[in-house]
């Protein structure tokens, strides 16, 4: 895979597929996932005339895995390093799970001058449930804000049990092959920071089209987060994919790809 060396010496990686002259579509994976998690999107999107970049930020895939110092701020800076190194503009940024909120970190620091549109895949902008935001992580609220993610990602009892997903499970296994599910202290620190963040003000100030995609059977939060988030954005829209879990682009790739390409063609 081609590499980019970040300004602090950390090695990032990416793949490039499709028409070099096409609009860039940059794919950012979720927590612990690699660029391979977009395996069901790369070829279909490239075949539609786009230049597709699947990115491994630090801590992902074959990129460097620092033991500490990976924060949401640094992740946003890594995105900037990639876009600048590859001289990408008019970009459609697509982020799954934590990759989605990484986009808001990037916009907070660098603005949207390089960005044409954004797709957020099953990620609420505020994981903490409060009176004004009941669309957060199941069971996570002010009573357990410092302990809920202390040891990992809690099971919620929501969504279709993994062993009942059939072909959806096979796709997940292929796309997530090789992922180490052990969480280091640095990764737990990142997870806790991510869980406590509130990116709603960034969404309210974003002046490019944003699409929020939810899996109807997400294990982590109610699908209502998509419409609620779209309501915050000046140019926002949302959709919910039936029979789909948190890894919405993996479990139902045909439905997701159609939604993604229709959105990409709309601006």
Q: CB of 219 within 8 A of CB of 159?
A: yes
Mean pLDDT computed over 47-71: 95
CB contact set of 144 (below 8 Å; sequence gap of 6+): none
Mean pLDDT computed over 188-216: 98
> Could you state, in order of their start, the residue ranges of all structural domains in the chain?
3-264
Backbone phi and psi for residue 120, each to the nearest 5 degrees, phi listed first: -110, 125
Q: CB of 213 within 8 A of CB of 122?
A: yes
pLDDT at residue 182, as a whole number: 86
pLDDT at residue 238, as a whole number: 98
pLDDT at residue 37, as a whole number: 95
Given a cut of 80, whether residue 247 has pLDDT beyond it is: yes
Given a cut of 90, whether residue 226 has pLDDT beyond it is: yes
Given a cut of 90, whether residue 122 has pLDDT beyond it is: yes
> Mean pLDDT for the chain?
95
Given a cut of 90, whether residue 161 has pLDDT beyond it is: no
Cα 3-253-38 angle, rounded to 5 deg? 10
Given a cut of 80, whether residue 181 has pLDDT beyond it is: no
- Percent of the chain whose pLDDT exceeds 90: 89
pLDDT at residue 180, as a whole number: 76
Q: Mind listing the pLDDT tens digit for each residue in 73-97? A: 999 999 999 999 999 999 999 999 9
pLDDT at residue 172, as a whole number: 73
- Fold (topology level) of 3-264: Rossmann fold (3.40.50)
């Amino acid at each position: 895979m081609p590499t980019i060396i970040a300004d602090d010496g950390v090695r990032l990686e990416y793949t490039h597929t499709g028409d070099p002259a096409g609009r860039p579509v940059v794919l950012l994976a979720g927590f612990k996932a690699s660029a391979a998690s977009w395996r069901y999107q790369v070829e279909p999107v490239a075949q539609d005339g786009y230049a597709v970049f699947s990115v491994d930020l630090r801590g992902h895939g074959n990129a460097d895995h620092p033991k500490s110092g990976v924060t949401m701020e640094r992740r946003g800076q890594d995105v900037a390093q990639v876009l600048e190194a590859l001289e990408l503009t008019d970009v459609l940024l697509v982020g799954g799970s934590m990759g989605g909120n990484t986009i808001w970190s990037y916009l907070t620091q660098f603005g949207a001058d390089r960005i044409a549109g954004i797709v957020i895949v099953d990620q609420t902008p505020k994981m903490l449930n409060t009176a004004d935001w009941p669309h957060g992580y199941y069971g996570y609220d002010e009573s357990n804000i410092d302990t809920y993610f202390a040891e990992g990602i809690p099971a919620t009892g929501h969504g279709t049990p993994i062993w009942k997903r059939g072909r959806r499970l096979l796709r997940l296994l292929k796309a997530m092959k090789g992922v180490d599910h052990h969480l280091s202290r640095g990764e737990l620190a990142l997870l806790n920071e991510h869980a406590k963040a509130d990116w709603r003000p960034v969404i309210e100030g974003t002046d490019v089209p944003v699409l929020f995609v939810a899996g109807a059977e997400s294990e982590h939060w109610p699908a209502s987060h998509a419409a609620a988030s779209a309501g915050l954005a000046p140019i926002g829209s949302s959709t919910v994919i039936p029979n789909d879990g948190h890894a919405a682009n993996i479990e139902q790739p045909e439905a997701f790809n159609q939604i993604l390409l229709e959105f990409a063609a709309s601006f």
